[in-house]
């Protein structure tokens, strides 16, 4: 059996709760995901529990954090500009930054496989079952594009 093509892009659709792996311009695998309960729209500031919206990259990985954690390169320039404007208008609670540590990760508890996707429970991350994040991590190199839409 030939090796599977490397993933060049991860697409996350917040409204559909899906994560698609793209290789060679085609979707090669789809997963159901749990997100942050903060709802639609871009992440505004730290602690809003929103999953960000925008274009990012896989910026590294941490094994052992929620089983396996692919680091999302949040915040990007648009996120920083949005945050600065919200802060200027007084719409950011005191002591809150732009946010950080967004990732695509597992749950770290095999008994929660599937069940955890019944509600949005993360602080803004994208969560899958542990075996699913293992497959994504195997197929997706650092630097791969991540596109998150509402």
Domains and CATH numbers, the chain: 9-149 (2.40.440.10)
3-state DSSP assignment of residue 150: coil
Task: Tell me whether strands 9-13 and 145-149 are parallel, antiparallel or unpaired.
Answer: parallel
pLDDT tens digits for range 13-50: 999 999 999 999 999 999 999 999 999 999 999 999 99
User: Mean pLDDT over residues 121-130, rounded?
Assistant: 97
Higher per-residue confidence, 58 vs 1:
58
What are the percentages of helix, strand and coil residues in the chain, rounded to 5? 20, 30, 50
Percent of the chain having pLDDT more than 90?
Answer: 93
pLDDT of residue 2: 72
Q: How far apart are CA 89 and CA 104, in angstroms?
A: 31
Which pLDDT score is estimated for 25? 93
pLDDT of residue 5: 85
Q: Which of 4-8, 27-31, 112-116 has the highest mean pLDDT?
A: 27-31
Alpha-helix residue ranges (DSSP H) falling in 11-117: 77-88
Among candidate residues 137, 58, 68, 145, the one with its CA nearest the CA of residue 107:
68
Whether 21 contacts 132, CB under 8 Å: no
Please give the pLDDT value at position 78. Answer: 97
* Contact yes or no for 126/103 (Cβ under 8 A): yes
């Amino acid at each position: 059996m030939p090796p599977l093509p490397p993933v060049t892009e991860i697409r996350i659709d917040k409204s559909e709760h899906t994560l698609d792996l793209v290789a060679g311009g085609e979707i090669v695998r789809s997963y159901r995901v749990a997100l942050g309960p903060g709802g639609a729209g871009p992440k505004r500031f730290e602690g809003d529990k929103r999953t960000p919206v925008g274009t990012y990259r896989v910026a590294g990985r941490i094994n052992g954090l929620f089983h396996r954690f692919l680091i999302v390169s949040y915040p990007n320039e648009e996120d920083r500009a949005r945050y600065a404007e919200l802060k200027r208008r007084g719409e950011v609670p005191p002591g809150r930054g732009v946010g950080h540590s967004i990732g695509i990760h597992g749950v770290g508890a095999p008994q929660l496989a599937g069940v955890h996707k019944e509600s949005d429970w993360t602080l803004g991350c994208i969560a899958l079952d542990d075996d699913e994040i293992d497959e994504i991590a195997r197929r997706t190199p650092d630097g791969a594009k991540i596109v998150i839409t509402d």
